[in-house]
Amino acid sequence: MQDKLFEFISKYISLTEDEKNALVSLDLFRSVKKGATLLKEGKFSKESYFVLNGCIRTYYVLEGEERTTAFYTELDALTPPCVINKTPSEYYISCIEDSIILVSNSDMSVEINSKFPKFDIMCRMLSEELLAKQQINFDEFKTSSPEQRYLNLLQNRPDLIQRVPQHQLASYLGIKPQSLSRLRARILEKQR
């Protein structure tokens, strides 16, 4: 599992064996059970997450309804806005499958970054890259209909459609579960 992490990091910076050991000794890995909640609305948090294995999701509760806004799977990183802004969280984070997640605390990372300036560089590259990816994602969402979004998802993240419950997928696509059912039926209809 650590190998996965080092392979990911190596895309940005190269680490010496000493640095790798120092990183491992921090004991950041956490095993999380399906259904567990990592963050609740209204709570303060300093934790960032990096998914090594499994799947977590972020969702709001608006008027009693869950609105799923994102899924994070293998090698996805998430720093909730509440960590950056030092405000109470507006959403929940919960675990969809049994997962192995790297959890880092923003206090801790100040220390790490001063010890290993390389990490700062990686963080900057990462957040710039994420920003660009996020922008493209948003643009794609804006410029397409629910049906196109579903077809896109089928193309780009087909695993999600298998591993995530329909009603969560629906709200991720910006529609109701009933509409997703109908939409899927419509697509099958067309294919025939």
Minimal CA–CA distance to 152: which of 168, 130, 137, 167? 137
DSSP class of 124: H
Per CB under 7 A, the list member of 22, 146, 151, 157 interacting with DNA is 146
Site track 154-183 with DNA (rule: CB under 7 A), x = hit: -----------xxx------xxxxxxxxxx
- Count residues binding a second copy (CB under 8 A): 31
Binning the chain into helix, strand and coil, the percentages to the nearest 5 are 50, 20, 25
CB distance 75 to 133 below 8 Å: no
- For residue 61, the partner it binds in DNA, a second copy, none, with Cβ less than 5 to 8 A by kind, is none
Tokens of 134: 């996020």
Q: Is 158 exposed, middle or buried (0-12, 13-18, 19+ CB in 10 A)?
A: exposed
- For residue 132, the partner it binds in a second copy, DNA, none, with Cβ less than 5 to 8 A by kind, is a second copy
Question: Does position 67 bind DNA by CB under 7 A?
Answer: no
Gap between the Cα atoms of 146 and 177, Å rounded: 12
Single-letter amino acid code for the residue at 59: Y
- Restricted to residues 97-156, the positions that interact with a second copy (CB under 8 A) are 120, 123-124, 127-139, 141-143
Per CB under 7 A, the list member of 116, 147, 157, 163 interacting with DNA is 147
- For residue 133, the partner it binds in DNA, a second copy, none, with Cβ less than 5 to 8 A by kind, is a second copy
Gap between the Cα atoms of 177 and 192, Å rounded: 23
Residue bearing tokens 């099958």: 188
Shortest separation between residue 56's beta carbon and DNA, angstroms: 16
Binding site for a second copy (CB under 8 A): 60, 62, 67, 69, 79, 81, 84-85, 90-91, 120, 123-124, 127-139, 141-143, 172, 174
Binding site for DNA (CB under 7 A): 145-147, 165-167, 174-186
